[in-house]
Amino acid sequence: MQFLITRRFLALLMLMIAAPCYSAQSQSLPVALVYFGPGVCSGCPQSLAKVIKKSGYEVRRVNAGGISKESLKDVKIFAIPGGDDVRELMDALQSGESAAIREFVAKGGNYLGVCLGAYVASRSELGLFNGEIRAHSKTIEARMENVSWLGKPRWVYFQDGPEFKTDDADKSDVWSVYRTGETAALIQSYKLGHIGLVGPHLESDQSWLDDDNLSDMDGDDSNLLVEFIKAISK
C-alpha cells in the first residue's frame, strides 16, 4: 500500500514538473511581422494581421524605421498589407530596410504582399519579383471581382489591386486568375525563401463590405488567405 501511494505521488510529481514545459511548447507559435507604417490604408494592417493570426502565427507590428536584420531575426513571414501609395511607403523606409527585407527572404524567410504589398514587391521597389506587376483595373472604386481560386469560381473584394505577369525564367505556383485570364495570386521562390502576392483583398471583413455597400455572394474569403499563407511558409 505504501509503495502504491509512493508510486502515485511520484507520478503526480513528474506530471507537475512536465506540465509547464508542455504548456510552453504548445504556446510557441511561429512569428509574423506585419508592416503598420506610412502608405497602408486605414484598417488594412489590422485585417491582415487578424487573418495571419488565424493562420497560426504570433503577430508583431513594425513601422518604417523598425525593419532590420535584428527585428526579422526570429520571424517566419514578413507581410505588407494593402494601402494607397507605393511611393509614400517606399519613401518612408529608411536606408537599409529594403535590403534587410530582401536578405530576410533570400536566406529562407517568407514575404506576403496584399494589394499595395504586392505592388512594392516589384523589381523596381523591394526587388523580390522579376515579372511585371500592373494595375488590373482602370478604376479605383471598390467592387466584388469574380476570380478563379484554385480552379473554383469565387467573388472577392477588390480595389485597385494588381495583376502579375511572370518572367519565363521564374517558376510560379498560380493560385488565382481574374476572369480575363491574368494572374491574381501566386507563390514564387526567391533564392532560399518564398514570396506570396495577392491582388484582391481576401482579408476584408463585413465592415469593408458595409462601408462600400457591397455583398459577398459566396461568403467570407479569409479562409482562402489562410490556406495561401500556410502554403507560403511550408
CATH number where 213 lies: 3.40.50.880
**108 conformational bin, left if phi > 0, alpha if psi -120 to 50, beta if neither:** left
Kindly state whether residue 5 falls inside one of the protein's structural domains.
no
Confidence (pTM): 0.88
Does residue 11 carry a pLDDT above 60? no
What is the number of domains present in the chain?
1
Kindly state whether residue 11 falls inside one of the protein's structural domains.
no
Show Cβ contacts of residue 233 under 8 Å, excluding neighbours closer than 6 positions.
30, 76, 77, 110, 194
pLDDT score recorded for residue 169:
60
Torsion of CA 87, 131, 185, 175, to 10 degrees: -170
* CA 229 to each of CA 16, 49, 84, 90, 179: distance values in angstroms, whole numbers, following the listed order: 36, 12, 23, 24, 23
Strand partners, 59: 32
Residue pair 124/114 in contact by the 8 Å Cβ criterion: no
103-131 pLDDT tens trace: 999 999 999 999 999 999 999 999 999 99
- Nearest-angstrom CA–CA distance, 156 and 146: 6
Residue pair 195/111 in contact by the 8 Å Cβ criterion: yes
Kindly state whether residue 21 falls inside one of the protein's structural domains.
no
* Domain span at 131: 29-232
Between these two residues, 15 and 61, which has the higher pLDDT value?
A: 61
Kindly state whether residue 70 falls inside one of the protein's structural domains.
yes
Kindly state whether residue 4 falls inside one of the protein's structural domains.
no
Kindly state whether residue 14 falls inside one of the protein's structural domains.
no
Q: How confident is the model at residue 1 (pLDDT cuts 50, 70, 90)?
A: very low
165-209 pLDDT tens trace: 997 667 899 999 999 999 999 999 999 999 999 999 999 999 999
| Mean pLDDT score across all residues of the chain | 90
pLDDT score recorded for residue 26:
40
The label of the residue with cell 508542455 reads 22
Does residue 132 carry a pLDDT above 60? yes
pLDDT score recorded for residue 234:
84
Burial class for 175, CB neighbours closer than 10 Å (0-12, 13-18, 19+): buried
Kindly state whether residue 7 falls inside one of the protein's structural domains.
no
Kindly state whether residue 212 falls inside one of the protein's structural domains.
yes
Nearest CA-CA partner of 45 in 54, 36, 37, 53: 36
